[in-house]
Chain A
């Protein structure tokens, strides 16, 4: 029967030489919005990665007292060695390099309490390549409180109520927004996928139980719960990521569960079962690759909503006070709304808006690209 149809049809269907993902990629390339979103995301990620080199009060490369040093790169060292104790223990092990000569070190005893900016132009600093924006996002400046944007002061986007440069905070805020978005959605995706596979494949009581739990979590007044948890815990990035991840998995769970239920009866799964492949292997190797596609769309939208939630939290004052968050700047804008400090509201708002739009556009593009009905 099938052969007949193929013969009679004027455009005989041949098996596509491409695999699923290359079709999706080709579809996505045709989607203008999706591609705009994609490229904005690329720019955002690059900004986040290069933030210490874009806005910093230390030179990127400098020749200081005849030594070549890279003071800006210290931020990356901190990233590699994020735990204080570990860093200290490493220090006590004596890295066999004296701190002044260690190119990344923040300890330059010769600076004698001066900042890099004060040394600049002196005899000791013979050569320096500075970041384009010479402000540190956490640099307090009592002489420059709440400045409106102006090129002459060097604060192109103005300063906040502690004299910190807004543009520097926006650039470094990209790291905060993206890492909260990606890590929290990563957590929720892992939970959602694992539980969804389990519920869909094992079925029975496990399925009933997990679905019930999902229902409970879905009926939660989520935002209220998040505020409550963050208010009661230490307001740190890690906690915010964890909480967002722990309440956000229900959508992914339902998607995966539905897909698994669909796949479970398919021939290749039955064949694998008949061959005696262990259940976990069937779940991970056979079912998961065929069930995971819709989760990617959900991840893109999830990142947008996590960024929104994080900025809302910092707007309400529950953000991590030690990191520059876009929402926190907007909340200052609200506090000083009667003083005409428009830059505190407008710039961070645009940053949030662009990020949300990018991820939403990309998610939308992916959804369209994966939808066979819309396939050209």
Chain B
């Protein structure tokens, strides 16, 4: 028995591998620009007028002339160099019809995804990323020169002092580490704050360091020891980005609370009061000051790129209007950077593109697709006005099979990575969603069996009677009703203000369920369950009872039933002991076949009733192109399906003692 179980589980492995590999292939090979594919060429992209053939030649010339190729893009964990277009339109992308930027190359062989970038003197670049690495790389060749150790988790931000040799890095647990000179060991590592520090910035004279944390506080540190000197409060939620003004008289901050704030110091590094300057539509992810200090750009979840004039921001007007609002990204903007001449702006977004904008013409002049990755950070190239560097995380340009193996290596330890959308661990999200779906399906399954087996058996026993005909017609009709239609009808009839408003149709609880005592809580929960469960069970009633009827009829036709009757056994004993037990064998095994269908069907039910289970999680992940979550959900559902099959194997032996697994 045990050895059979082990063998079954082992035989599941190739199936699981196959399923995950196929899913991986699909999401890896799918084109990267969903809006462009959905809405046709040039969705939301201005400026694609130039003739295609001519500009492609010009692009080729430009690439030859640049000779900035940093090596082939081989590793996904790449810091890329994008060339902004020299001319307003460098090329027209065949697929999107949009102006295309050219990726000039990428740094090689980073040990993991990169999340943060900072420029350093002497043509060096500081890269921070996954698994806590901080690298110093050559800006030109891309060669990694030094690796800094500091015992950090995933790096969320890095900063360099423009004067001294200081480098600071902070991780998602809020640990800040400081390195001085050429030392590999940090000069100081601060106690973790418990929440990510998403932005770091040195003051222009290099004496102080600012850190912005998800706890909503901005801290001023001694640059050499890291000691906290001042804490600035004013943001009511996490601060995502900081920019210190070029003259060192103040700084800008923005974050989840959507407000761009300007802080002016009374004496450098002293007290500062925030002044709200602009309220964005949604959270602000990135701030960037132009090299000449005259412009400030913000990138927000509201997908609009805004440019402010610094004199306006420093002025006394109560409300500041952006000098330019640039629209084009169709997903959240995650990174912004200026080119060296302060005239070109680069932006990176969750839509997996890097775009360049001409600030004088106020329009987009270039675009490139990162394929399948999110641009986390961008910095302008100090030397080359038209180039920009990005830290992109993505599954790009590596042979698919090696990416898959890498994914597999992590999954073996149940590490499904973090969600692209909210940085939460995928396992946490699954852990919250899985019990909901399993619970719903368990309730539905029990109900289906409890109702349809008696229905089917009775129909078989009373074969040919009116009961049999009516029940089979009713069940047949039920079977053909699409569940999304039934759900909509039920909501329309039972939980709409227009008609009866007796059953809730959103979620599994009312707002404020935590405050309820147990019994009202249970009643609330039960009421919320009625509609979703109703939509999950009725099709099962039809198919299972029909199946039960056929099986029972077949069994009743067997010789041993005739024998039992001939012996003179009472009919009830014949039916319920001899026939029923034998027909149960096949019915029980159907549970395994129902399971995958139910998990698939839960997508629709959870979507309609806004239940946060696996189906809705998967649906949202697909819409957000949240690859780690998609992969995890596929793996889990396949695993559950296989488990169901295994379970039915065991149920066989429970119901029918003759069957043994040797």
Contacts and interface: CB of A to CB of B under 8 A. Distances in A.
Interface stretch (B138-146, B390-398, B618-626): B618-626
Q: Which of B15, B37, B480, B601 has the most CB of A within 10 A?
A: B480
B492 interface: yes
Given A228-B26, A312-B604, A352-B482, A342 B492 contact: yes
B634 A224 contact: yes
A216 B641 CA distance: 11
Nearest to A321: B38
B485 A345 contact: yes
Interface in A196-226: 212-213, 215-216, 218-225
A321 B480 CA distance: 25
A229 interface: yes
A252 to B, nearest CB: 16
Contact of B18 (A216, A231, A321, A338): A216
Contact of B480 (A233, A234, A235, A357): A357
Contacts of B622: 227-228, 231-232
B27 A219 contact: no
A224 B608 contact: no
Interface in B604-642: 604, 607-608, 615, 618-619, 622-623, 625, 630, 633-634, 637-638, 641-642
A304 B480 contact: yes
Contacts of A224: 599-600, 603, 615, 618, 633-634, 637
Contacts of A327: 484
Interface in A305-347: 308, 311-312, 315-316, 321, 327, 330-331, 333-334, 337-340, 342, 345-346
B386 to A, nearest CB: 33
B488 A234 contact: no
B470 to A, nearest CB: 14
B547 to A, nearest CB: 13
A233 B476 contact: no
Question: Mostly helix, strand, loop or mixed at chain B's interface?
Answer: helix
A50 B630 CA distance: 42
A140 to B, nearest CB: 17
Given A235-B38, A339-B498, A353-B482, A227 B642 contact: no
B229 interface: no
A303 interface: no
Contacts of A229: 26, 30
Given A221-B600, A222-B600, A232-B34, A337 B488 contact: yes
Contact of A233 (B30, B496, B633): B30
Contacts of A330: 484-485, 488
B19 A356 contact: no
B29 to A, nearest CB: 9
Interface residues of B, number: 50
Interface string B165-184: 00000000000000000000
Size bin of chain A's contact surface = 35 or more
Contact of A334 (B482, B488, B615): B488
B484 A338 contact: no
A191 to B, nearest CB: 15
Nearest to B18: A216
A349 interface: yes
B601 A223 contact: yes
B484 A232 contact: no
Question: Mostly helix, strand, loop or mixed at chain A's interface?
Answer: helix
Contacts of B31: 232-233
Interface string A181-206: 00000000000000000000000000
Contacts of A312: 482, 484, 604
A224 B619 CA distance: 8
Contacts of A212: 14-15, 18
B481 interface: yes
Contact of B619 (A235, A316, A338, A357): A316
Contacts of A364: 476
B498 to A, nearest CB: 4
Contacts of B634: 221, 224-225, 228
Contacts of A298: none
Interface string A21-39: 0000000000001000000
B443 interface: no
Interface in B570-607: 596, 599-601, 603-604, 607
A35 B488 CA distance: 31
A175 interface: no
Contact of B603 (A223, A331, A333, A357): A223
Given A334-B488, A338-B496, A219 B630 contact: no
Given A232-B27, A316-B607, A334 B637 contact: no
A338 B498 contact: yes
Contacts of A220: 19, 22, 596, 638
Interface of B: 14-15, 18-19, 22-23, 26-27, 30-31, 34, 37-38, 476-477, 479-482, 484-485, 488-489, 491-492, 496-498, 596, 599-601, 603-604, 607-608, 615, 618-619, 622-623, 625, 630, 633-634, 637-638, 641-642, 645
10 cross-chain pairs, A with B, having the tightest CB-CB distances, nearest first: A232-B30, A223-B600, A221-B637, A216-B18, A349-B485, A356-B480, A357-B480, A340-B498, A315-B484, A334-B488
12 contacts: A218-B596, A221-B596, A228-B26, A233-B37, A337-B496, A338-B496, A338-B497, A349-B482, A349-B485, A356-B481, A356-B482, A360-B480
Interface of A: 33, 212-213, 215-216, 218-225, 227-229, 231-235, 304, 308, 311-312, 315-316, 321, 327, 330-331, 333-334, 337-340, 342, 345-346, 348-349, 352-353, 356-357, 360-361, 364
